[in-house]
Amino acid sequence: MKRKVTKAIFPVAGLGTRFLPATKSIPKEIMTLVDRPLIQYAIDEARAAGIKEFIFVTSRGKSALEDYFDHSPVLEQELRKKGKDELLETLKNTNMDSGAIAYIRQHKALGLGHAVWCARRLMQNEPFAVILPDDVIAAEKPCLQQMVEAYEETGGSMVAAMEVPKDKVSAYGVLDVKEDMGSIVSVNGMVEKPAPGTEPSNLAVIGRYILSPNVMRNLNKKKTGAGGEIQLTDAIAEEINQDRGVYGFRFRGQRYDCGSKAGFLQATVAFGLAREDLRDELGAYLDEMVASRRAAE
Ligand code: UTP
């Protein structure tokens, strides 16, 4: 019988060097798209997928992230006094039930696989989700929820996957496809950051995973991979050698790479335009910008 997925790991212990100097003092995950930090989008997606326990793998300098999920009695009292019910409602989503959230420390950024392994003691023998908050996915049905539904059919381990242009694929974990069944593909192998020209396909892994408990056991071996880091991709690929099913899932939605500056700016524009209260003003400004750029060419 397949177990329900109720725990999610959020690895947020990376250095975020692409956003220096900002990330010198604020965690990347607290940076905002419009008015909500990246981490809020990730939490909302996890909740929609039925996740009940939220495990953060953090590091030095991430205390703003921990504070974000606390109640803020002074602020709440003030808003109540002023009758700002809508804002109070917004704040509700930022609070976590006692015991629903745990923080584990990764002492050194040894790689994504190592970050996930740091949470091993909070896991029983159960499947678990991994969400990278810097991949933000706009979708009618949240991506992890789509995956949980697909996982109910496949079992095994599942990674979110998307087609990327040939010249970009070597920046990702890449799937070697065994059988393409449309939204679900079965996988023969996975390579992290293949050298250009050696990639097995252009189907890349992005930051959503549902993993079998055995992946955690594979991570126990702590083998270093691409870039000298302990790679999650390698521990999942090992599942295939051990005759366990690994699947890629082509999600429906638009993914933004908010770990990169260009991706973050694109997401800001897209989420701004999606907001009723901003759409007209922002849209008019963008039209003006584009027109003046064209005129200057
Ligand atoms: P990235 O590759 O984006 O690294 O990590 P980064 O440190 O966040 O950012 P840059 O490249 O220096 O700008 C992908 C995800 O894995 C987590 C990161 O926090 C991010 O969510 N991660 C990575 C860890 O938690 N620990 C690690 O050792 C490495």
Residues 264, 250 share a domain: no
User: What SS3 state is found at 290?
Assistant: helix
Residue 214 is predicted with a pLDDT of 94
56 occurs within a structural domain: yes
Please give the distance, rounded to the nearest whole angstrom, from the Cα atom of residue 258 to the centre of ligand 1: 12
The protein residue whose alpha carbon is closest to atom 10 in ligand 1 is 16
289 occurs within a structural domain: yes
Tokens representing residue 42 in the block: 């990730």
Per the DSSP assignment, residues forming a β-bridge with 257 are 135
CATH code: domain of residue 248: 3.90.550.10
Give the pLDDT band (50/70/90) at residue 1: low
Residues 123, 37 share a domain: yes
The fraction of the chain above a pLDDT of 90, given in percent, is 76
Residues 99, 239 share a domain: yes
171 occurs within a structural domain: no
295 occurs within a structural domain: yes
Residues 155, 131 share a domain: yes
How many C-beta atoms surround the C-beta of residue 287 within 10 A? 10
Per the DSSP assignment, residues forming a β-bridge with 138 are 254
46-67 burial code (b ≥16 CB/10 A, e <16): bbebebebbbbbbbeebeebee
Residues 245, 264 share a domain: no
76 occurs within a structural domain: yes
Residue 58 is predicted with a pLDDT of 95
CA-CA distances (angstroms) from residue 94 to 58, 72, 133, 222? 18, 10, 15, 34
pLDDT digits (tens, 9 = 90+) for 79-114: 999 999 989 988 888 888 888 999 999 999 999 999
249 occurs within a structural domain: yes
Spatial contact of 215 and 113, defined as CB atoms under 8 Å apart: no
214 lines ligand 1 (CB under 6 A): no
Residues 148, 268 share a domain: no
Residue 3 is predicted with a pLDDT of 75
Please give the distance, rounded to the nearest whole angstrom, from the Cα atom of residue 13 to the centre of ligand 1: 6
Residues 129, 18 share a domain: yes
The fraction of the chain above a pLDDT of 70, given in percent, is 99
Distance, in Å, from the CA atom of 13 to the CA atom of 145, rounded to the nearest integer, reads: 25
Number of domains the chain contains: 2
Closest listed residue to residue 12, CA positions, set 64, 48, 81, 87:
64
172 occurs within a structural domain: no
122 occurs within a structural domain: yes
Residues 113, 33 share a domain: yes
Please give the distance, rounded to the nearest whole angstrom, from the Cα atom of residue 127 to the centre of ligand 1: 22
Residues 210, 267 share a domain: no
User: What is the mean predicted confidence (pLDDT) over 42-56?
Assistant: 96
Range of the domain at 264: 260-297
How many C-beta atoms surround the C-beta of residue 20 within 10 A? 9
pLDDT digits (tens, 9 = 90+) for 188-213: 999 989 999 899 999 999 999 999 99
Distance, in Å, from the CA atom of 49 to the CA atom of 47, rounded to the nearest integer, reads: 5
